[in-house]
Amino acid sequence: MSEPATVAAQLRELSLYYELEGDKHRAFAYDRASKSVMAAQGLHRLVDENRLEELPGIGPSIARVVSELARTGSVPVLEAMRSKWPTVVVELAALPKVGVLKARKLFDAFKPANLEAISLLCEEGQIRELPGFGKTTEQKIYAAIEKRRTTGAQVLLEDAEDASAAVAAHLRGEPSVKRVEVAGAVRRAVEVVDALAFAVVGDDRAAIAARLASFPLITSVERETMPIVGHFADGMRAEVWVGAPLRFGWTHVLATGSRAHVETLRAEAAARAVDLDTLYAPDEQRVYRALDLPFVPPELRDGTDEITAAYAGDDYSDLVTLEDVTAAFHCHTTYSDGRNSVAQMAQAAAELGFQAITITDHSAAASYASGLDAVRLREQHAEIAALEDPPVRILRGTEADILVDGSIDVPPELIDELDVIIASVHQRYKADEAAMTERLITVMRAPYFKIWGHALGRYVMRRDPIAVRIDDVLDAIAESPAAIEINGDPHRLDLDPVNARKAKARGIKFVLSSDAHSTKGLGAVRYAVAMARRARLRKRDVLNTLPADELAAAVRPRGP
DNA sequence: GCCGTTTTCGGCCCGACTGTTTTCAGTCG
């Protein structure tokens, strides 16, 4: 049966077709049904028991569609829509600043064969002549197609993981396939993924290519290439690297990349007269061993200096792991914009194996998130104190806004009552570089311990980082009572690995956090761990790997 | 197509923003 994420993607695709047909409300219904399928628990069971209509937004008609998609991977209406509407319309609608309506207008006016044709029309200045379009829009479309040409489609790591899991499960359905591993940028935990990749053990390439082609979201497959490449309707690619079992190690390395990492390995192999393509290596460890290298964790294979560092003696065995993390850091509750109570968050943290949790709701200045003033903060502290036998140690904290003047939104008399302060920019993101740098340095130098929250304020693919002289701020932090958060919210992943490496080089400490706004959100800490590993952080670089008592002492604003 | 009732049809999500307009259409979150 198809994965829920796959069914959801097909419903979204149907939604887009209905919108193209002008049936706005049906499109909305399918979009809502798609979200519902995504959020559903135990979709397969609901299908089996004919209970899909229990899901919100799913009535008799969509229930039939979902059931058929889940069971067979397709449905006639989707196939009909795919042959009626050429790929280029879908691709146009997916471009930033171009929606379904503009895509439809462009298609009706020009009947373009592909994005290339639209690009050409931009160059000729023809797009701007269309009613509703202008010079600016034309330039944006041109730039978007240009970007698409160089980088392909791009999705968040989190979404790429879901898609990869679905494709991997599908490939495992081919009888001649012995093993399927998710590889590529997903395995390397790159924030933005532009191609899915898989390492497969099998001896029947044709059968594997055919299996890939039958994945519900894939529209075409290049079968003769190495790797086999499948194309999704939205421009995403799936690369499938096939290898024999005794040489799977090298296949796995090739599929994982990065390109620069692989090239470096090839060069080292050539220097040692090792033939990687025929090397006996059932696993990756043996590939690296053959080159006198320790196992290089996937997150580090970015092609910078990970090989050089390994030859210089770093065996990467002490990189921080999820198991090292002792405290659920940076958590919101119903006091501000979270969905669960303090007690529920503490319970969920305990169930995930944490020893402690930091409750850090927004401060008063974050009024849009119902930030807490001193009165409500003390109410929360009283509630925490009243909890009988809490399942984990609870640190009373705040995520305080960094105000424009470089002060932190915590009344001075409250600092002594707090166990931890996270200081974050939530307003006036667009301050100029000099002002923002000054503002942050002032905050970091404040004479009590604080943790810089979601440092550069980016939203991956949606909002650029703040403009700031990062080196100056890091220099200030290095000599101040301050640490830096690596925020595991899949949309933030902030501070990013490149800058985190710079911070680590200055001896700055980190916390790995989830920025959870619900019990479910606590799991996002694994992304923080992944970013930390990419930054080559060790357990000793991360404060919330300490036992709860030591952690509490380390982050207390005023010290012991 | 779904949903909720004013019970079998009529409304469905909305505000900020941007670019294209000259009062609005379309995108995005």
The predicted structure's pLDDT at residue A220: 82
Kindly determine whether the C-beta of residue A128 is less than 7 Å away from any atom of nucleic acid strand B. Answer: yes
Q: Separation of CA A525 and C1' B27 in angstroms?
A: 32
Q: How many whole angstroms separate alpha carbon A62 and alpha carbon A12?
A: 12
Domain extents in chain A? 4-151, 155-311, 322-555
A28 touches strand B (CB under 7 A): yes
Give me the sheet containing A196-201, strands edge to edge. A179-182, A196-201, A237-243, A228-232, A218-222
Sign of CA dihedral A43, A201, A189, A213: negative
Confidence check: pLDDT of A559 > 70 = no
Lowest-pLDDT choice from A91-105, A320-334, A398-412, A542-556 = A91-105
Q: Is the pLDDT of residue A63 over 60?
A: yes
pLDDT at A228 over 90: yes
What gap in Å lies between CA A457 and CA A232, rounded to an integer?
Answer: 31
State the pLDDT at residue A38: 86
Strand partners, A450: A482
Q: Is the pLDDT of residue A185 over 90?
A: yes
Residue A175, CB, less than 7 Å from strand B? no
Share of chain A above pLDDT 90, in %: 71
Statement: the CB of A17 is under 7 Å from strand B: no
Looking only at the bridges linking them, the beta strands covering A237-243 and A228-232 are: antiparallel
Instruction: Please enumerate in sequence order all residues whose Cβ is within 8 A of that of A294, keeping only pairs 6 or more positions apart, or say none.
Output: A288, A310, A314, A315, A316, A317
Query: Which protein residue lies nearest to nucleotide B1, measured between its Cα and the C1' atom?
Result: A26
Enter the CATH code of domain A322-555. 3.20.20.140
Whether the pLDDT of residue A141 is over 70: the answer is: yes
Structure tokens at A262: 């692989």
pLDDT tens for A338-381 read 989 999 999 999 999 999 999 999 999 887 788 899 999 999 99
* The CATH number of domain A4-151, selected from 1.10.150.110, 3.30.450.20, 3.40.50.460, 3.80.10.10: 1.10.150.110
pLDDT of residue A454: 94
Lowest-pLDDT choice from A78-82, A149-153, A175-179, A413-417? A149-153
pLDDT tier, A93 (very low <50, low <70, confident <90, very high otherwise): confident
pLDDT category of residue A116 using cuts at 50, 70 and 90? confident
Mean pLDDT calculated for residue range A213-231: 90
Q: Give the pLDDT mean for A304-308.
A: 97
Taking CA A214 as the corner, what is the angle to CA A208 and CA A215, rounded to the nearest 5 degrees? 95
CATH architecture of A155-311: 2-Layer Sandwich (3.30)
pLDDT of the residue at A201: 97
Shortest CA to C1' contact from A138: nucleotide? B19
Whole-number distance in Å between A35 CA and B8 C1': 27
* Strand A155-156 relative to strand A192-193, pairing: antiparallel
CB count within 10 Å of CB A484 equals: 24
Whether CB of A430 is under 7 Å from strand B: the answer is: no
